[in-house]
Amino acid sequence: MNTDFSLQRANMVEGQLRTTDVTNVPLLEAMGDIPREAFVPGRKKSLAYIDEDLEISAATREGPARYLMEPSPFAKLVQLADVQSSDVVLDIGAGTGYSAAVLSRLASFVVALESEETLAQTASETLETLGCVNVSVVSGPLRDGYGDDAPYDVIFIGGAVDAVPEALFEQLRQGGRLVAVIGEGNAARAHLFVKNDGIVSSRSSFNVAVKPLPGFQKAPEFVF
């Protein structure tokens, strides 16, 4: 039996996004149009629109499993970033490229940073196939960002982190925004950081539980 992905996309927009206060029309249109299933490994494509994080890369000795973020938290984070059509965006932890595809519909240009070579290659191929010509996929450690194309109007961190490294704030343009989920599990919260006159201010926005990104964990502290 063939899966009707277009119907699943419509149901995602109406049942997962609009019901969780996602109101940004260009964002809703982008997520209603972009084939999320194209960014999911073959045997899991039928699960592309479920309302939970979806594993796209298994854990190895080199690193933890990687996930495609659940649609609603992802959309709420993008909405928090308030991406404008003239913005240059750094997408950290791009995975197979879905986040970059959505951001590419909202922004002028997207730099999609991914630390796993296999995921980066998959993202590049899929984005090219879908005609996302304003996205550049690059590889490197996620916590370092990508200074070559800085400064950015928006930095989107696609997973939970313990803290945002100073190097990422340095890559923000004046007036730029960075969105990140800080913390673990159900105690984590989305944060919006804004840079003005060289000073970064932040505000906590909403509770959200998403999978962590590798490389952002704090070193264990020893107690004597």
Q: What is the pLDDT of residues 135-145, one digit of tens each?
A: 999 999 999 99
Residue 223 has pLDDT above 80, yes or no: no
| Order of strands, sheet of 189-196, starting from the edge strand that comes earlier in the sequence | 135-139, 109-114, 88-92, 152-161, 172-182, 189-196, 199-207
Between 187 and 2, whose confidence is greater? 187
Of residues 222 and 145, the one with the higher pLDDT is: 145
The answer to whether the CB of 56 falls within 8 A of the CB of 68 is yes
CATH topology (fold) of 5-207:
Rossmann fold (3.40.50)
Half-sphere exposure for 129 (CA within 13 Å, toward CB): 13
Rounded to 5 degrees, what are φ and ψ at 190?
Answer: -75, 140
Chain centroid to Cα 75, Å, comes to 9
What whole-number distance in Å separates Cα of residue 63 and Cα of residue 211? 13
Smallest CA-to-CA distance from 189 within 101, 45, 77, 106 is with 77
Q: How confident is the model over 117-145, as a mean pLDDT?
A: 97
The residue to which tokens 């840079």 are assigned: 195
**Residue 32 neighbours by CB under 8 Å, 6+ apart:** 9, 10, 12, 13
63 falls in which pLDDT band (50, 70, 90)? confident
- pTM for this structure? 0.94
Tokens of 128: 């090219």
Task: Give yes or no for a contact between 151 and 137, defined as CB atoms under 8 angstroms apart.
Answer: no
DSSP string, 49-110: TSSS-EEEE--BTTB--EEEPPHHHHHHHHHHHT--TT-EEEEES-TTSHHHHHHHHHSSEE
